[in-house]
Amino acid sequence: MRPLADVRIVSLEQYGAGPFGSMHLAELGAEIIKVEDPTAGGDVGRSIPPWAQDDDSLFFQSFNRDKASITLDVRTPGGREVFHDLVRSADAVYSNLRGDVPAKLGIRFDDLKDVNPRIVCCSLTGFGMTGPRSQEPGYDYVLQALGGWMSLTGEPGGPPQKTGLSLVDYCGGYVAAISLLGAIHGARRDGVGTDCDLSLHDTAISLLTYPGTWHLSAGYEPGRTRHSAHPSLVPFQAFEAADGWLVVGCAKEKFWQRLTVVLDRTDLADDPRFATFADRAEHRDALLPQLEALFRTRTVDEWLAPLYAASIPCAPIKDVAEALTDPHTLERDLVAETPHDTFGTVRTLRSAVRVGPPGADRVPTRPAPAIGADTDRVLRDLGYDDTRITALRDAGALGKD
């Protein structure tokens, strides 16, 4: 039995951040009942190009594996009745909507506590349910701009840049998943549910971490660094070799000492300008051109062999295809293969969250569901008969066939 096999979550989720968070819980065994609005065509992620067809897409498959889908318009009287029946049997209601929408839809704890006093209502919004931006929509790109991330990304003197991946969205999903599990634990212990008011804005700001601390406490002004260099540890950056790029990181003084041996430049270790982290940071403009010139004299592979042998943190800079076919990626069973009627075999990335002994912590996965694929089954599990299901469908609560 998976560790979350006794957890049921009713999810009004869409796009990336919300579905990403709940997919980790689904892989750990939680039942995720994905409520999709039939008047809007379901989750907007189903239509994201370029690989989108028949109310599904490879984008949608990336975030919704191992879930169930029902179509339900919770704004209709019949849909509201069904929703309340779901809440009675659930541990949590999870959503990622604009900050003012949970109140409009009646999916906060105060709205549902009389239906289920132990229900956890977890809302991941762009800006939270309080504050001057609470009614604004929030997307990863917007939050990377507002959160200061784009001012730190890219080469000095270049334009602001976002990270290559939607990391605010994905980290927001992780934050929501952690909060939701904590709140469910508390509700089971105390017998009383709660709200979880989470936001992508809070996530982006909190992830500023030590540069934020340095700025708030010591007036440090973060900025872009050349070749993605660490702001204070030198050398720790990307270096160009004769045929490509690699990262070398001296995160401890012993690694710097070893690097000077690999480079056949032990004189650098003896130079008082480069003796410590602080010294090398102060004199980086004198040191880094020498290191960069040395790394350009050999290929990536020619450098990696002695660097690995000296246990110096390093890696070739790979493209996505190389990363996905790396032997370590394959050995760690990070690629899930599921059959799909439209796309054939869909290969997606499994969760990095793992519970169980190494090698025995993976179970077969299911593709993301077709829109409304589980509606009738879920309703029958609630005790609805065919006549009642047909009446709900005729009234528009479940969408029209």
For residue 1, name the pLDDT band (cuts at 50, 70, 90).
confident
Per-residue pLDDT reduced to its tens digit, 297-313: 999 999 999 999 999 99
Q: Are residues 134 and 104 in the same domain?
A: yes
Q: Are residues 62 and 136 in the same domain?
A: yes
Q: Are residues 335 and 313 in the same domain?
A: no
User: By residue range, what is the domain housing residue 248?
Assistant: 227-317
Residue type, 72: L
Distances (CA, A) of 307 to 167, 264, 288, 299, 356: 30, 12, 18, 13, 33
* Helix locations, 64-208, DSSP H: 77-88, 101-105, 109-112, 140-146, 167-190, 200-206
For helices 17-27 and 167-190, the axis angle rounded to 10 degrees is 50
Beta strands in 47-149 (DSSP E): 68-71, 92-95, 120-125
Tokens linked to 103: 């109140």
Q: What is the pLDDT of residue 270?
A: 95
C-alpha span between 401 and 399 (Å, rounded): 7
Q: What is the pLDDT of residue 401?
A: 60
Q: What is the pLDDT of residue 65?
A: 95
What is the average per-residue pLDDT within 32-45? 95
Residue 81 lies in a domain: yes
Beta strands in 173-302 (DSSP E): 194-199, 236-240, 245-249
Point out the residues that are catalytic.
Answer: 230
C-alpha span between 236 and 194 (Å, rounded): 44
Q: Are residues 151 and 289 in the same domain?
A: no
Count of CB atoms situated within 10 Å of the CB of 274: 22
Q: Are residues 190 and 146 in the same domain?
A: yes
Q: What is the pLDDT of residue 178?
A: 97
Q: Is 355 exposed, middle or buried (0-12, 13-18, 19+ CB in 10 A)?
A: exposed
Residue type, 274: F
What is the average per-residue pLDDT within 215-236? 95
Q: What are phi and psi of 172, to 5 degrees?
A: -60, -40
Q: To the nearest whole percent, how much of the chain has pLDDT over 90? A: 95
Q: Are residues 68 and 120 in the same domain?
A: yes
Residue 351 lies in a domain: yes
Domain boundary among 317, 346, 368: 317
C-alpha span between 103 and 33 (Å, rounded): 21
Per-residue pLDDT reduced to its tens digit, 336-373: 999 998 899 999 999 999 998 887 778 889 999 999 99
Q: Are residues 177 and 41 in the same domain?
A: yes
Count of domains for the chain: 2
Domain boundary among 265, 287, 317: 317
Residue 130 lies in a domain: yes
Q: Are residues 114 and 263 in the same domain?
A: no
Do residues 83 and 387 touch, judged by C-beta distance below 8 A?
no
Do residues 71 and 34 touch, judged by C-beta distance below 8 A?
no
Per-residue pLDDT reduced to its tens digit, 264-295: 999 999 999 999 999 999 999 999 999 999 99
Distances (CA, A) of 272 to 258, 265, 269, 276, 280: 17, 14, 8, 8, 9
Q: What is the pLDDT of residue 23?
A: 96
Could you tell me the pTM of the whole model?
0.93
Q: Are residues 286 and 248 in the same domain?
A: yes
Q: Are residues 115 and 263 in the same domain?
A: no
The yes-or-no verdict on residue 163 having pLDDT over 70 is yes
Taking alpha carbons only, the member of 113, 222, 154, 293 closest to residue 121 is 113
Residue 64 lies in a domain: yes
Per-residue pLDDT reduced to its tens digit, 312-332: 999 999 999 999 999 999 999
Q: Are residues 161 and 112 in the same domain?
A: yes
The yes-or-no verdict on residue 25 having pLDDT over 70 is yes
Domain boundary among 271, 288, 317: 317
Q: What is the pLDDT of residue 399?
A: 86
Taking alpha carbons only, the member of 18, 26, 11, 2 closest to residue 350 is 26
What is the average per-residue pLDDT within 217-246? 96
Q: Are residues 290 and 368 in the same domain?
A: no
C-alpha span between 204 and 172 (Å, rounded): 8
The yes-or-no verdict on residue 223 having pLDDT over 80 is yes
Q: What is the pLDDT of residue 24?
A: 96
Tokens linked to 384: 């609805």
Per-residue pLDDT reduced to its tens digit, 113-162: 999 999 999 999 999 999 999 999 999 999 999 999 999 999 999 999 99
Taking alpha carbons only, the member of 107, 40, 102, 38 closest to residue 392 is 38
Residue 382 lies in a domain: yes
Q: What is the pLDDT of residue 73?
A: 96
The yes-or-no verdict on residue 177 having pLDDT over 90 is yes
Residue 149 lies in a domain: yes
Residue 211 lies in a domain: no
State yes or no: cis peptide before 160, omega within 30 of 0: no
Q: What is the pLDDT of residue 107?
A: 96
Bridge-based pairing state of the strands 120-125 and 92-95: parallel
Residue 1 lies in a domain: no
Do residues 398 and 375 touch, judged by C-beta distance below 8 A?
yes
CATH number at residue 337: 3.40.50.10540
CATH number at residue 291: 3.30.1540.10
What is the average per-residue pLDDT within 204-223? 96
Distances (CA, A) of 329 to 64, 78, 259: 21, 47, 27
